[in-house]
Amino acid sequence: MLSRRLAPLALVLAASGIAPVAARGAEEAPARELPEGPLGDTIRLGKELFERTGTHPLTRRYVKNALSCASCHPQAGAQAGGATLVGVAAAYPAWSPREKAVITLEDRVLNCFMRSMNGQRPPNGGAPAVAITAYLTWLSTGERIAQNPKAPLGPRSFPKLSVDPSKVDTARGAALYAERCAACHGEDGQGDPPVWGPRSYNAGAGLADATKLAGFLKVTMPPDEPNLQDGEAVDLAAFVNAKPRPDFDLSRHLGPSGAYNATVREERVRAPTWPPRPAGKR
Ligand code: HEC
Ligand code: HEC
């Protein structure tokens, strides 16, 4: 049925001399070829920056922890069913409730540096912004444009898990962590990559929200064979996010230019705890 729906598109593309994208299921990524010339080079650079964000000479000054974009978006954002970024470019410009603004894909990329990477927002239009955005746009080759009026998320973003505080068991989270996570991430959380402490994501990052971390763990961890039950993912998320990590103060993460497409220009978030702090005591 899908292929029948795509057939006329394939014909139009064939007539225009552009190679048609392969028909695909919901999980399968479309076939993509690197364009020739400077665009192809820029896309390739973007992938490199995505994988080596903290060590590459073009991006390392903007990163203040031990993570790369690929630490949370495995297979350079192309992992089917994981924290994939395939299709995300088709959702932008999108409404972002956090910034209370319509933001571009470039904005979203640059904002990740302030939060998930605990660093500084690189300049709009600079080499990292252009290359990473080019790479993510290329990952969306063949996607139907469907701008998102509710959230800056793509069509395949992973679902959050609901967290019922009365059922969360952090002792079970600790036991599961020792058994199934510590071999790679360290008993002290400082393995590769670190999952708490000053070298991990800060309190302003998506993963600092236990509902998102639980959803993330469910689709990505352990790598290559994610196997957690919902309740296990939730207990682990509460355990990991009760450990110390950097607070977030937006004003300290805007780069030298201060350029920031947002209506919300002040934001302070303290590192999460478990049980969560009572409302009003952020
Ligand atoms: C610490 C983990 C982490 C790191 C590191 C990280 N991200 Fe993400 N990223 C997330 C999570 C979690 C979400 C989903 C957030 C949500 O649900 O609001 C996300 C969402 C996104 C999105 C929105 C698309 C979607 O549909 O989910 C983009 C684009 C993105 N990240 C790009 C990047 C780039 C570029 C970098 C590196 C500069 C990066 N991320 C680093 C965790 C991370
Ligand atoms: C075999 C090694 C391995 C195991 C086991 C494992 N991870 Fe990971 N984890 C990784 C790697 C490697 C990454 C970086 C992404 C990738 O390459 O898949 C990662 C990324 C992460 C991230 C996002 C990046 C960060 O550092 O914050 C979190 C959170 C995480 N893992 C938590 C867990 C939890 C909780 C478990 C136990 C259920 C677990 N992992 C099991 C290797 C592992």
Atom of ligand 1 nearest to the CA of 87: 26
CB atoms under 10 Å from CB of 222, counted, come to 14
Atom of ligand 2 nearest to the CA of 240: 35
Atom of ligand 2 nearest to the CA of 193: 26
Does ligand 2 come within 6 angstroms of the Cβ of 42? no
> pLDDT 10s digit of each residue in the chain, 282 long?
333 333 333 333 333 333 333 333 345 556 789 999 999 999 999 999 999 999 999 999 999 999 999 999 999 999 999 999 999 999 999 999 999 999 999 999 999 999 999 999 999 999 999 999 999 999 999 999 999 999 999 999 999 999 999 999 999 999 999 999 999 999 999 999 999 999 999 999 999 999 999 999 999 999 989 999 999 999 999 999 999 999 999 999 998 889 999 999 999 999 999 998 887 655
Name which residue sits closest to atom 37 of ligand 2, judged by CA: 181
β-sheet bridge partners, residue 96: 101
List, in order, residues 6 or more apart from 69 with CB less than 8 Å away: 49, 50, 51, 53, 76, 77, 112, 116, 117, 132
Q: Which of 120, 111, 118 is nearest to 61 (CA)?
A: 120
Does ligand 2 come within 6 angstroms of the Cβ of 226? no
Does ligand 2 come within 6 angstroms of the Cβ of 66? no
E-state strands within 55-208: 94-96, 101-103
What's the 215 CA to ligand 2 centre distance in angstroms? 13
pLDDT at 143: 95
Instruction: Name every protein residue with a CB atom under 6 angstroms from any ligand 1 atom.
Output: 53, 67, 69, 71-73, 83, 85, 88, 108-109, 112-113, 116-117, 132, 136, 152-154, 157, 201, 205-207, 212, 216
pLDDT at 15: 37
Q: Which of 164, 268, 161, 143 is nearest to 220 (CA)?
A: 161
What's the 182 CA to ligand 1 centre distance in angstroms? 23
pLDDT at 111: 98
b/e burial code for range 86-122 (CB count within 10 A of at least 16 → b): bbbbbbbbbebeebebebbbbbbbbbbbbbbbbbbbb
pLDDT at 29: 55
pLDDT at 30: 60
Q: Which of 56, 260, 32 is nearest to 134 (CA)?
A: 32
Which of 51, 112, 162 is the best mutation target for the ligand 1 pocket, counting ligand atoms within 8 Å of the beta carbon and taking the most? 112
b/e burial code for range 178-198 (CB count within 10 A of at least 16 → b): eebbbeebbeebbeebbbbbe
Does ligand 2 come within 6 angstroms of the Cβ of 241? no
Residue whose token pair is 């600079």: 126
Helix (H) or strand (E) holding 88: none
What's the 274 CA to ligand 2 centre distance in angstroms? 21
Q: Which of 111, 38, 116, 119 is nearest to 264 (CA)?
A: 111
Paired tokens of 216: 């993330």
- Nearest-angstrom CA–CA distance, 97 and 186: 35
What's the 112 CA to ligand 1 centre distance in angstroms? 6
Name which residue sits closest to atom 2 of ligand 1, judged by CA: 72
The single-letter DSSP state of residue 76 is: G
Name which residue sits closest to atom 28 of ligand 2, judged by CA: 195
- Nearest-angstrom CA–CA distance, 236 and 242: 10
The distance between the two most distant Cα atoms of the chain, rounded to a whole number of Å, is 62
